[in-house]
Amino acid sequence: MPPPPFRADQVGSLLRPQALRDARNNEDYTVVYTRQVSDSIKKAEQSAIELAVHVQITRDILPIVNGEYPRAIYFSGFFENLHGMTVFDALPVPDAFRTDFPTTTGLLKSFGLKTRASVIATNKISFNPDSPPYLSEWLQLRDLLPDETYWEKTKITIPAPSYQHIQLKPGTASTPDSGYKDDESYFRDLAACYTKTIETLYDHGCRYVQIDDPHLTYFCDEGFLAGCAKDGTDTDKLLDLYIKVYSWIFEPIRGSSKYADLKTGMHLCRGNMLGSTHWVSGGYEKIAKKLFNETEGIDTFYLEFDDETRAGGFEPLRFLPRGKHAVLGLVSTKTAEMENREVLVRKINEASRVIAQAWGVSEQEALVEALAISPQCGFSSHSAKGGLGMTREKQWEKLELLRDVARKVWTS
């Protein structure tokens, strides 16, 4: 069985340099979707990415990422670049959103926000060849790499297809005159856009795509489930739909030998926003079997495990099938405190023990076939925010800690 792409991985976002934050001057959480940016902002982004790439190469931190520096938030730049999708800057909170949706209610309580932006289908959704999502990001990053051998050591992140749909009030992810009569037709067109996006990135040299799908963990949270019940939503069917979308995305890709060397990952967490805030709690037990076995096209799962109270223990890893990988998010981006190396090694061994028992193999076999480590989330899902007390140097030290622990565990 092929091993995980990297034994020490990272989720994608990095703390933005102050110069980039100053250039953007964007502290408003509601302004998250891509707009035309000035030359001064583009210059600041370029300088920030150049420095980040240099640091990652110098310190041997892989895979190389652009830190999501061109984005205001991790999901910026996808939905608003598709035909048929329209940004609504000021949907009313909470009326336009799912009942008791954790993110919305959290924002409302913390900041008193009365509106929130979302992207809604107002016409048939289709890929826009004049503005392919994240292609410019990839090319910008690719052109900063020393040579083509680094392309396969580099990763791009994209948001999950369910991002808009799961938040909005049931039945409102598309307008009545959009042409969509049901959720399946909406998602089939959206899935085709994901397929084309990934194919386009691949055609320009990208070999590693990670889809950020933190909202799947909401199905582990009692508050979210209770809100859905109030709305009359069958959460089992909703989860099945969201998982099914991945098969629609990847069926054309996995069916072609052309993409045999494409690596795919899915990141799940419980939020890392606005000063270490998390939105939901609950272990993976409720979703693990479906997640690991029915999410077609995904090779590697990035899982939050830095806090057992919030994220639960390793027991759900027993559902991981052979041939797929779990990246253990053991190092916290929420706090500047450094983790203990020996504790990290012990946790890795605990996880390998669970998988070994499920597979009927030795712990060493499970360790080699299935596991890798990473932070539990990105360091700055929103461009203006990061973990409490976190600094850019501490960020690099945490990534180096993961690198060094991985070398000890998998090469000793």
- Segments of the chain with pLDDT less than 70: 1, 26-31, 34-36, 107-111, 271-281, 307-311, 385, 412
Contact 290, 240 (CB under 8 A): yes
Q: Are 189 and 126 in contact (CB under 8 A)?
A: yes
Determine the pLDDT at residue 274. Answer: 56
Domain ranges of the chain: 18-411
Residue 276: its pLDDT value, please?
46
pTM: 0.94
Residue identified by tokens 């083509």 is 148
Residue 225 is predicted with a pLDDT of 94
- pLDDT at position 110, please? 67
pLDDT of residue 108: 67
CA distance 143 to 127: 25
pLDDT for res 383: 75
Bridge pairing between strands 83-92 and 115-126: antiparallel
Predicted local distance difference test score (pLDDT) of residue 273: 58
pLDDT attached to residue 113: 80
Encode the chain in three state secondary structure. CCCCCCCECCCCECCCCHHHHHHHCCCCCCCCCCCCCCHHHHHHHHHHHHHHHHHHHHCCCCCECCECCCCCECCCCCHHHCEEEEEEEEEECCCCECCCCHHHHHHHHHHCCCEEEEEEEEEEEECCCCCCCCHHHHHHHHCCCCCHHHHHHECEEEECCCHHHHHECCCCCECCCCCCCCHHHHHHHHHHHHHHHHHHHHHCCCCEEEEECHHHHHHHCHHHHHHHHHHCCCHHHHHHHHHHHHHHHHHHHHCCHHHCCCEEEEEECCCCECCCECCCCCCHHHCHHHHHHHCCCCCEEEEECCCHHHHCCCHHHHHCCCCCEEEEEEECCCECCCCCHHHHHHHHHHHHHHHHHHHCCCHHHHHHHHEEEEECCCCCCECCCCCECCCHHHHHHHHHHHHHHHHHHHHC
Query: Of 1.10.10.10, 3.20.20.210, 3.40.50.12280, 3.40.50.970, which CATH number belongs to 18-411?
Result: 3.20.20.210
Residue 347 token pair? 């946790």
pLDDT for residue 31: 62
Q: For residue 282, what pLDDT is reported?
A: 74
